[in-house]
Each structure stands twice: as structure tokens, then as C-alpha cells.
Amino acid sequence: MRPSDHSINSRICRSYAPVPAVDRMHEIFHYLLSNPSGRTVRQISEDLRIPRSSLYRLVAVLEHYRYLQMIDAQQVCVLGPAFIPLARSANERLDLVEMTRPYMKRLAEQVNETVKLSVVKTGVVEVVSRVETGQDFKISVNPGVLFPIHAGAASKALLAFLPEADRVALVDKPLSKYTESTITDYTKLRKILQEIRESCVSYDFEEHTEGIAAVGCPVFNFLQEAVGALSIPFIASKKNLAEQAVQHRATCLMETARIITTRLGGVYPV
């Protein structure tokens, strides 16, 4: 009887043995993924402890097949264009909503709050998925609900990582005010967006809806694009707004966003 593909794959995984050249390529690829501006052969050799003579031969082969590229006279290595069709093919098989759902469910159980996933849609932010807990008092947001791009934790998390020209076009104009806490001053908003880019965490303290606070984090794909934002909305009670409680949600949320980003082939910026 012909063995199943699953049993064959299981045997292959169990019989894994290191192949030095492949292991080194793996190290180089992930090293350059974490250093998108590139590194010289000398820097790669020193940081990864690969003998320079071996590294030169490996780089020459990878450059030939366009997995690496030299971008200037200093021979700075960056990841090459051969990865683009491979990454796109892998990414097309990943449905963002389906892929994130088990992680969102685990996060919701961890913090005992609703967790939602949002994406940018023609200048606004749309909720595309949510996971609720069994608690009596919870925030319920249905998929399909739209939020303004400048108000809310998920909205600001996505806005912060848009290309600069798109970001300016969306907010360098009169902005609607939803509560007394809504940020409508462009200079102030720009400063907050810079802080979000540095920390990858966005906060909403009743900016869109009175009595509702939230924390949000972006998730990134293999092109380092913010393709979505996870957020945890919660009732803005004194207990929930305590620094320790807010920080706990932010820490759990970022860890989940980091895992999802890795699944999407991206690298979390912080």
C-alpha cells in the first residue's frame, strides 16, 4: 500500500539532519531580512561567524540566482528579487482572517476581552474579524463596521505605517471630532503617529466612543507592509485604565502581532 503524503512528510521532518551550506543560507537570509538596508560581506562574516572565503563563494552563487543583490560600490548585500515571486506565492495561500483567528482566540482568552482585526479600506478602517469572550460585559463590534482613519487604536496603528504620501493625504485636512478626546490637530497627530512607528503600539482613550478605550498593534507581511491591525477594545473604567492593566493588554497584544507577522513572512520592527 502506498504511504500517505502526510506519513512521508512526517518521516522527512523526523529525519532532518543539518546541511551546512543550507543552514548558512538560512542564517544569511534571516540576517538580511532583519537588516533591510543591507550589510557588507565583512559585516555578515563577522556577525554570523562564517569564514570570509566560504562566504564569498556562497554569496557569488546566491547573487547568480538573484537571491542576493549588491547595491553599491561598497558591495553591500541585500535580499534579491528572486524572493518576490516565492513570497507572493506563499502569501496568496494565506487568508488573513482565517490565519489570524486561532491567535485572536487565544489572545481573547488570555486578556478576557474582545479582540478584533481591522484593515485599511479606501481611506477608512474596516473591522474584518472579531473574537469575543464569554464575559457578561464586553465590547461587541461586528465585522464590516467602519472607523475613521485618525480615531481609534487600530486606525492609528494602520495610519502610522502607511506610506508618507498616503498618510499626509488622509490627515492633512480638517478631521472630524467624535469625542472630546478625538485628536484633530495635525501636528499633535503626526507626533503620536511617529511614537506609534517607534513602539508599534497604539492607544485609544475614548477618542472615538465615550467610555471605550483600546490598545492596538499592526501586523506586517513579507514586504513589511502593515496589512492589518489587531486591537483590544475595553470599557474605560478606572480599574481597566490602570497602567498595569493597560500594559498587560499591550504586551499580550504585541506578542500575538509578532507571531502573526512571522507567519506572514515579515519581521516585527521592535
User: For residue 93, what pLDDT is reported?
Assistant: 55
Determine the length of the chain: 270
User: For residue 13, what pLDDT is reported?
Assistant: 43
Nearest-angstrom CA–CA distance, 92 and 63: 26
User: For residue 9, what pLDDT is reported?
Assistant: 41
User: For residue 91, what pLDDT is reported?
Assistant: 63
Question: 113 vs 74, which has greater pLDDT?
Answer: 113
User: What is the sign of the dihedral through the CA atoms of 193, 195, 200 and 205?
Assistant: negative
145 touches 209 (CB < 8 A): no
| Mean pLDDT calculated for residue range 149-165 | 95
Nearest-angstrom CA–CA distance, 69 and 136: 56
**80 CB contacts (<8 Å, ≥6 apart)?**
62, 63, 66, 67, 68, 69
For the chain, the average pLDDT equals 88
Nearest-angstrom CA–CA distance, 171 and 39: 36
Q: Which domains are present in the chain?
A: 9-81 (1.10.10.10), 90-263 (3.30.450.40)
Please check the confidence at residue 10 and state whether its pLDDT lies above 70.
no
pLDDT category at 156 given cuts 50, 70, 90 is very high
| Mean pLDDT calculated for residue range 105-115 | 94
Number of other residues whose CB lies within 10 A of the CB of residue 237: 12
Rounded-to-10 torsion of CA 40, 46, 47, 51: 100
**223 CB contacts (<8 Å, ≥6 apart)?**
87, 266
Q: Is 166 helix (H, G, I), strand (E, B) or coil?
A: helix
pLDDT category at 15 given cuts 50, 70, 90 is low
**What percent of the chain has a predicted confidence (pLDDT) above 70?**
90
141 touches 212 (CB < 8 A): no
pLDDT in tens, 224-255: 899 999 999 998 888 888 899 999 999 999 99
Question: 16 vs 132, which has greater pLDDT?
Answer: 132
SS3 content of the chain, % helix, strand, coil (to 5): 45, 20, 35
Nearest-angstrom CA–CA distance, 67 and 192: 37
pLDDT category at 92 given cuts 50, 70, 90 is low
Nearest-angstrom CA–CA distance, 227 and 214: 19
User: For residue 16, what pLDDT is reported?
Assistant: 60
124 touches 150 (CB < 8 A): no
Which grid cell sits at 139?
465590547
**79 CB contacts (<8 Å, ≥6 apart)?**
29, 32, 33, 36, 67, 68, 69
Tell me the HSE value of 152 on the side-chain side, using a 13 A CA sphere.
29
